[in-house]
C-alpha cells in the first residue's frame, strides 16, 4: 500500500471538489451580475427602443419583460418610488452591487487558478 499515493489522491479529490464549487459559484455570480446590470441599464435601453415601436408592440414586450400586467407594475413602481429610495439611490445601489459582484468574480477566478495550479503540480 502506497500511503503517499493514497494521500495524493485524497488531496486531488478535495481540490477537485473545491474547484467545482468555485466554478458553480462563478456561474451563479455571473447570473447575478447580468440581472443587476439589466436592472441598471434596462430602462434606458427600453426607452430608446420603445420610441421606435407601436403602443401595442411596447405593451407586448413590457408584459414579457416584467412577467405581469405592465400598468399594474408601473403603478406599483410609482407608489414605491414615492415612499422608497429615489432612482439615483437605486442606481447607486445597483452600481455598488455590480462592483461587489465583479470583485467576487475576480476572487473566484483567483481561487480556481490556484486550485488548477495545485492539481498541475500534484
Residue-range domain boundaries for the chain: 3-121
Average pLDDT over residues 43-57: 86
Residue 104, pLDDT above cutoff 50: yes
DSSP characters for 21-76? HHHHHHHHHHHHHHHHHHHHHHHHHHHHHHTTS-HHHHHHHHHHHHTS-HHHHHHH
Q: How many CB atoms lie within 10 A of CB 101?
A: 19
Residue 81, pLDDT above cutoff 60: no
pLDDT at 76: 52
Q: Which residue has the cell 468574480?
A: 105
Does residue 26 contact residue 109 with C-beta atoms inside 8 Å?
Answer: yes
Confidence class for position 68, pLDDT limits 50, 70, 90: very low
More confident residue, 35 or 81: 35
Please tell me the distance from the alpha carbon of residue 46 to that of residue 58, in angstroms, as a whole number: 9
Residue 62, pLDDT above cutoff 60: yes
Lowest mean pLDDT among 60-64, 79-83, 91-95, 110-114: 79-83
Amino acid at each position: 500500500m502506497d500511503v503517499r499515493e493514497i494521500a495524493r489522491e485524497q488531496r486531488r479529490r478535495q481540490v477537485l471538489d473545491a474547484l467545482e464549487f468555485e466554478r458553480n459559484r462563478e456561474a451563479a455570480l455571473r447570473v447575478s451580475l447580468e440581472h443587476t446590470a439589466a436592472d441598471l441599464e434596462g430602462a434606458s435601453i427600453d426607452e430608446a427602443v420603445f420610441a421606435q415601436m407601436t403602443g401595442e408592440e411596447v405593451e407586448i414586450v413590457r408584459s414579457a419583460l416584467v412577467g405581469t400586467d405592465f400598468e399594474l407594475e408601473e403603478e406599483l413602481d410609482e407608489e414605491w418610488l414615492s415612499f422608497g429610495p429615489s432612482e439615483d439611490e437605486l442606481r447607486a445601489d445597483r452600481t455598488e452591487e455590480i462592483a461587489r459582484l465583479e470583485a467576487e468574480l475576480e476572487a473566484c477566478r483567483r481561487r480556481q487558478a490556484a486550485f488548477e495550479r495545485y492539481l498541475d503540480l500534484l
